């Protein structure tokens, strides 16, 4: 159950969003994701044969003017749908996390979990505005984007030093220059909530079933508060507590990360070879030593593609989320210990 402060937050959002005028109908046309126009959406592998793709036009901002019409400039959301196999009972909309994580590939095994769901429900995923294949996309210069902003669990938008302030300012300015302030000022959680409502209309659903992850749970909770009559069911995974302030969120997230590392260390200790040895209590100092060794070896080698500790930590923390990735993480860390960093480099690349 949400705490009182969370309920209050949802209530305020509901009042703000309920005043929005929406177009009576959002039309869309689905095509096979294997068509040439969608090839860029799937650079790594061919999409499932039944998967369908489309763009859904949503308002840039809430309706303006006395006629209550949405602004002319649309935002195009990239959307995928795996149609129901049998008697159709509705759609299940997946809302990804981040903010900024692509969503046209929901976290599903198309031959397992998805197969069960699609007996009666369409599975729908989408890239949020500014993200992935959606248009326009948020673009920043390569030079500014390469600046180390710190791990994603220590957001760079709360800088503490003059150097960090300058780096953050440079990064934001590059995003404004390459994307445009007219669009960026309409990217945020309120816009994400409104986009979910536009997607509901485009899907032709009276009620939505929603599965949301991490930051996506914030969007889902606020949507439920703003449009309660349009929600049938929701599953929230990795729930964002709307009552937390920024400091509390950081502290609680760091605690959760530490617990996840402890579980990984215990798992590692039971394997035939663990880079931390067979004593989980020794894992933290050995892990720190391994990170230092990795950076020192790169410095001595004079490599042109130096991997900063922030990128390394982000990749490792990302792997901690999924126990099925722990065996690969052990292999990668063991490779570093043996002077073979290739697997760890692959892990880092897959997290960016």
At 78 the pLDDT is: 94
Least reliable range by pLDDT among 18-22, 96-100, 144-148, 324-328 = 144-148
At 195 the pLDDT is: 94
Are 51 and 33 a contacting pair, CB within 8 Å? yes
pLDDT band at 244 (very low <50, low <70, confident <90, very high): confident
pLDDT higher than threshold 50 for residue 153: no
At 256 the pLDDT is: 86
SS3 per residue for the chain: CCCHHHHHHHHHHHHHHHCCCCCCCCCCCCEECCCHHHHHHCCCCCCCCCCEEEEEEEECCCCECCCCECCCCEEEEEEEEECCCCCCCEEEEEECCCCCCCCCCCCCCCCCHHHHHCCCEEEEEECCCECCCCECECCCCHHHHCCCCCCCCCCCCCCCCHHHHHHHHHHHHHHHHHHCHHHHCCCCHHHHHHHHHHHHHHHCCCCEEEEEECHHHHHHHHHHHHCHHHEEEEEEECCCCCCCCHHHHHHHHHHHHHHHHHHHHHHHHCCCCCCCCCCHHHHHHHHHHHHHHHHHHHHHHCCCCCCCHHHHHHHHHHHHCCHHHHHHHHHHHHHHHCCCCHHHHHHHHHHC
Which is higher by pLDDT, 234 or 340?
234
- Looking at the chain, the whole-number percentage of residues with pLDDT higher than 70 is 76
State CA 218 to chain mean position distance. Answer: 12
pLDDT band at 151 (very low <50, low <70, confident <90, very high): very low
At 148 the pLDDT is: 37
At 169 the pLDDT is: 86
pLDDT higher than threshold 90 for residue 221: yes
| Average pLDDT value for residue range 136-152 | 57
pLDDT band at 68 (very low <50, low <70, confident <90, very high): very low
| Average pLDDT value for residue range 84-94 | 92
Least reliable range by pLDDT among 68-77, 132-141, 193-202 = 68-77
* Residues pairing with 235 in the sheet: 211
At 334 the pLDDT is: 84
Residues 157-174: tens digit of each pLDDT: 455 567 778 888 888 888
pLDDT band at 289 (very low <50, low <70, confident <90, very high): confident
Cβ neighbours, 10 Å, residue 324 = 7
| Average pLDDT value for residue range 196-225 | 93
Are 28 and 56 a contacting pair, CB within 8 Å? yes
| Average pLDDT value for residue range 50-69 | 75
Least reliable range by pLDDT among 141-150, 181-190, 319-328 = 141-150
| Average pLDDT value for residue range 284-292 | 84
- The per-residue pLDDT of the chain, averaged, comes to 78
Calpha distance 229→49 (Å, rounded): 34
**Long-range pairs for 42-49 at CB < 8 Å and ≥24 separation?**
47/80, 48/82, 48/110
| Average pLDDT value for residue range 232-244 | 88
């Amino acid at each position: 159950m949400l705490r009182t402060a969370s309920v209050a937050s949802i209530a305020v959002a509901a009042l703000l969003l309920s005043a929005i005028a929406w177009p009576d109908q959002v039309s869309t046309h689905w095509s096979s994701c294997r068509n040439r126009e969608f090839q860029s959406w799937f650079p790594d592998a061919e999409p499932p044969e039944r998967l369908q793709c489309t763009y859904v036009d949503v308002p840039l901002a809430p309706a303006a003017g006395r006629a209550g019409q949405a602004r002319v400039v649309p935002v195009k959301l990239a959307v995928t749908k795996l149609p129901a196999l049998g008697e159709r009972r509705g759609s299940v909309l997946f809302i990804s996390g981040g903010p900024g994580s692509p969503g046209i590939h929901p976290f599903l095994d198309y031959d397992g979990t998805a197969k069960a769901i699609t007996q009666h429900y369409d599975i729908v995923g989408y890239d949020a505005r500014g993200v992935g294949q959606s248009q326009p996309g948020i673009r920043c210069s390569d030079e500014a984007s390469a600046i180390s902003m710190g791990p994603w669990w220590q957001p760079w938008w709360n800088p503490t030093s003059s150097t960090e302030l300058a780096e953050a300012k440079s990064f934001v300015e590059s995003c404004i220059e390459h994307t445009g302030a007219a669009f960026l000022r309409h990217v945020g959680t309120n816009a994400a909530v409104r986009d979910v409502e536009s997607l509901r209309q485009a899907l032709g659903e009276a009620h939505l079933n929603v599965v949301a992850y991490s930051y996506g749970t914030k969007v889902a909770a606020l949507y439920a508060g703003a449009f309660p009559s349009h929600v049938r069911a929701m599953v929230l995974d990795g729930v964002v507590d709307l009552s937390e302030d920024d400091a509390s969120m950081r502290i609680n997230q760091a605690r959760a990360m530490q617990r996840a590392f402890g579980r990984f260390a215990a798992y590692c200790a039971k394997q035939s070879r663990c880079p931390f040895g067979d004593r989980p209590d020794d894992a933290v100092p050995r892990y720190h030593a391994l990170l230092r060794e990795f950076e020192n070896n790169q410095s001595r080698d004079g490599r042109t593609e130096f991997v900063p500790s922030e990128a390394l930590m982000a990749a490792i923390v990302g792997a901690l989320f999924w126990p099925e990735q722990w065996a690969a993480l052990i292999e990668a860390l063991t490779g570093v210990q043996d002077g073979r960093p290739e697997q760890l480099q692959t892990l880092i690349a897959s997290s960016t």
